[in-house]
Amino acid sequence: MAKKTVLDTLRKAKKLLQKHWIEGDFAENKAGESVSPRSPEAVNFCAIGAMRHVDGPGEAEAMKFLRRAAKRINIDNEEHGSAEATNSAIIHVNDSIGKPAVMDMFQLAIELAKE
């Protein structure tokens, strides 16, 4: 996958989360009800939900970088229970550590993808 496509996917998801971040669900509609992240009704997202909503051609490869970044964020925050590069690590950052860590996670994933 082209580096530009992966970077675009990560950047779009990060931008979406700046104003539309949630915890505890992949996506919600305007009424706060759970919906699919790929639904046109979805307006708020967790980290994984934003990646699924952006749904770019670089999503699968971009998720690898996001998992690596989540692992590092969890270790840096001494959250060793989620110190693996998995979707669970991403969920832990999103739901247990919070939005500032989510933004840091995306920035780190972008930096990793540039290498």
Both tokens assigned to 72: 């590092």
Q: CA distances (Å), 68 to each of 14, 30, 34, 81, in order?
A: 16, 31, 27, 15
pLDDT top residue among 60 and 29: 29
Q: pTM here?
A: 0.90
Residue ranges of the alpha helices (H) in 1-115? 3-20, 47-54, 59-76, 87-92, 99-114
Tokens (6 digits) for 44: 């708020």
Q: From CA 72, how far away is CA 49, in angstroms rounded? A: 20
Q: What is the pLDDT of residues 63-101, one digit of tens each?
A: 999 999 999 988 776 655 555 678 889 999 999 999 999
Residues 34-69: tens digit of each pLDDT: 999 999 999 999 999 999 999 877 788 999 999 999
